């Protein structure tokens, strides 16, 4: 039998849906926020801003948690105990494949949660059973997305399992005695957010200058973030005077980007 929701339950569900939609923290670094803000741009000189200054082996997007990647790699180092640089290279690939598997698992969960939230927003009065059915129907309509996510998950899982088996064979066939020192400096450096590239800074300063000269110009949020990050400004644009702009544009809420 379908359950009839009270007015209080409807409001509580709507509030839950709003909270779910606000959970994404978005890009962490200034440059990441800059790239994210320009995702809709597909032509012109701004396309190059999508480049990221990360090691080639680190499959991390600007919106992803670098610390989570390093924690996963450290756990793999404890688990597999590489005894040579060659073995460490395999463990590094194991980390990359597992991280990407987890990414697509999260995206699949997010996709399904989005279906439920959208139904809840559009039909807050429907019973639970009808709510779940409508969400499932939307998932069926988006079957192509789910099949893509499953294909990506399966590919990364298979690669991960093959790499674990390869590491086991390498350790057995070519034992390193005594163990060779393994340098994980590059992996730890992934934690460090790079400063914006000079060409990115130049474009942001041009936008800041335009805001100075045209009071009605809407200064993009990523530039506001930059002018308020005074330590970063000292490094990337030490001679630029942003005091006027700080008076006009309130300090952004950094909690969302922490």
pLDDT digits (tens, 9 = 90+) for 179-237: 888 888 877 777 666 677 788 888 888 999 999 998 888 888 888 888 898 888 898 89
Q: Is the pTM of this model over 0.85?
A: no
Query: What pLDDT is stored for residue 226 in this prediction?
Result: 87
- Of residues 180 and 45, the one with the higher pLDDT is 180
DSSP-assigned states of every residue in the chain = -PPPPPHHHHHHHHHHHHHHHT------SHHHHHHHHTTT--SSGGGGGG---S-TT----TTS-HHHHHHHHHHHHHHH---SHHHHHHHHHHHHHHHHHHHHHHHHHHHHHHHHHHHHHH-TTS-HHHHHHHHHHHHHHTHHHHHHHHHHHHHHHHHHHHHHHHHHHHHHHS--SSPPP---HHHHGGGSPPPPPHHHHHHHHHHHHHHHH-TTS---HHHHHHHH-HHHHHHH-TT---HHHHHHSPPP-GGGG-
pLDDT digits (tens, 9 = 90+) for 119-171: 777 777 777 777 777 777 777 777 888 899 999 999 999 999 999 999 999 99
To the nearest whole number, what is the mean pLDDT of the chain? 78
């Amino acid at each position: 039998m379908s359950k009839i929701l009270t007015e209080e339950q409807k409001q509580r569900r709507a509030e839950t849906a709003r909270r779910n939609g606000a959970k994404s923290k978005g890009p962490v670094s200034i440059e990441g926020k800059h790239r994210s803000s320009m995702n809709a741009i597909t032509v012109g000189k701004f396309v190059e801003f999508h480049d990221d200054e990360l090691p080639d082996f680190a499959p991390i997007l600007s919106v992803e948690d670098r610390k989570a990647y390093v924690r996963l790699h450290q756990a793999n180092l404890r688990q597999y105990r590489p005894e040579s640089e060659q073995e460490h290279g395999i463990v590094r690939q194991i980390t990359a494949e597992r991280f990407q598997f987890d990414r697509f698992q999260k995206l699949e969960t997010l996709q399904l949660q989005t279906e439920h939230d959208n139904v809840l927003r559009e039909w807050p009065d429907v019973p639970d059973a009808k709510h779940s059915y409508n969400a499932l129907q939307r998932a069926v309509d988006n079957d192509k997305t789910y099949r893509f996510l499953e294909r990506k998950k399966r590919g990364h899982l298979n690669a991960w399992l093959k790499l674990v088996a390869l590491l086991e064979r390498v350790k057995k066939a070519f034992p390193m005695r005594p163990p060779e020192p393994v340098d994980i400096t590059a992996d730890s450096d992934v934690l460090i957010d790079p400063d914006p590239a000079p060409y990115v800074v130049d474009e942001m300063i041009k936008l800041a200058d335009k805001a100075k000269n045209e009071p009605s110009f809407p200064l993009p949020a990523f530039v506001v973030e930059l002018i308020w990050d005074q330590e970063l400004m000292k490094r990337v644009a030490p001679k630029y005077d942003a005091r006027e702009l700080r008076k006009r544009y309130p300090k952004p809420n950094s909690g969302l980007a922490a």
